Amino acid sequence: MNLLMVGFGGEVGLRLEGQFRREGFEVARSDLAQQALDALRSGQVEAMIVRSQLPDATGLDLVRDIRGVSDIPIVMVGRDEEPVDRILGLELGADDFVGQATIDRELVARLRAILRRTNESADRTGRDRVLRNADLVLCRASRQVFLNDQELDLTSAEFGLVQKLLEACGEVVSKDSLARHALGRRLNANDRSIDTHISRLRRKLGPAPGGQQRIVAVRGQGYCLPDIERVE
């Protein structure tokens, strides 16, 4: 797995690079957002760790630009006292956001979890390879989601959410269950990552046939994808 770390210099960068290399990653580092985009377009990058502040741009700018051309896994790293950056990062398409103070404990584990979920989904075969709900179709093997026969551009976290909701079609899925499936972790206290991902996903999916809401929030419980085939 070719990993690019963007914005990690000095001792912190060396330490994290060593951690990822010990985990079997091929690691490169870049200081600039433009260098990261050039590396991505050359096909040399399969996942990115992006710091929120870069010399030539913000991490948010870089995530937005990446999502314009690629759905590779992205984990952002920023300061815990900047909750707006966390929300915006997820809104723009980052798969997860890690606070600066906890990167030594969590960063490798978070990226591993995202990659594991991606690989597990791609490897599944058999009768449940294709999941359907009215005009929404998910293909496990190719990791593609289609709406009205048009392929959607989803991040790995968004794909995981659609998959879990389709598997439990008509039933409520807890936020924690969605987080474990789509992000590979449990939710922390006051963690609204799943709500942010769902908000972005709703905009991509639009309303269901007939105009009803496609993903329904069930207060205090989680989210549900109604069985549209049975809705009259």
Spatial contact of 1 and 27, defined as CB atoms under 8 Å apart: no
Taking alpha carbons only, the member of 197, 203, 216 closest to residue 133 is: 216
Q: Rounded to an integer, what distance in angstroms lies between the CA atom of residue 68 and that of residue 65?
A: 5
* Domains: count for the chain: 2
Q: Is the domain of 109 the same as that of 183?
A: no
Query: In which order are the strands placed within the sheet that holds 172-174?
Result: 172-174, 222-224, 216-218
Q: Is the domain of 114 the same as that of 8?
A: yes
Q: Is the domain of 131 the same as that of 116?
A: no
What is the pLDDT at residue 225?
Answer: 93
Q: Is the domain of 16 the same as that of 114?
A: yes
What is the pLDDT at residue 161?
Answer: 94
Q: Is the domain of 97 the same as that of 12?
A: yes
**Average pLDDT along the chain, 232 residues, taken 10 residues at a time:** 92 89 91 93 91 92 92 87 81 88 73 76 55 89 88 90 92 93 83 92 90 90 81 35
Its domain, for residue 113, covers 2-120
Q: Is the domain of 50 the same as that of 145?
A: no
What is the pLDDT at residue 229?
Answer: 57
Q: Is the domain of 63 the same as that of 108?
A: yes
What is the DSSP secondary-structure string of 109-132? HHHHHHHHHHHHHHH--STTSEEE
Which CA distances in Å does 51 have to 24, 62, 152, 182? Answer: 22, 10, 27, 22
Last residue of a domain, one of 120, 152, 171: 120
What is the pLDDT at residue 68?
Answer: 87
Q: Is the domain of 146 the same as that of 41?
A: no
Q: Is the domain of 111 the same as that of 11?
A: yes
Last residue of a domain, one of 105, 120, 135: 120
Q: Rounded to an integer, what distance in angstroms lies between the CA atom of residue 51 and that of residue 6?
A: 6
What is the pLDDT at residue 209?
Answer: 84
Last residue of a domain, one of 90, 120, 150: 120
Q: Rounded to an integer, what distance in angstroms lies between the CA atom of residue 146 and that of residue 131?
A: 10
Q: Is the domain of 156 the same as that of 73?
A: no
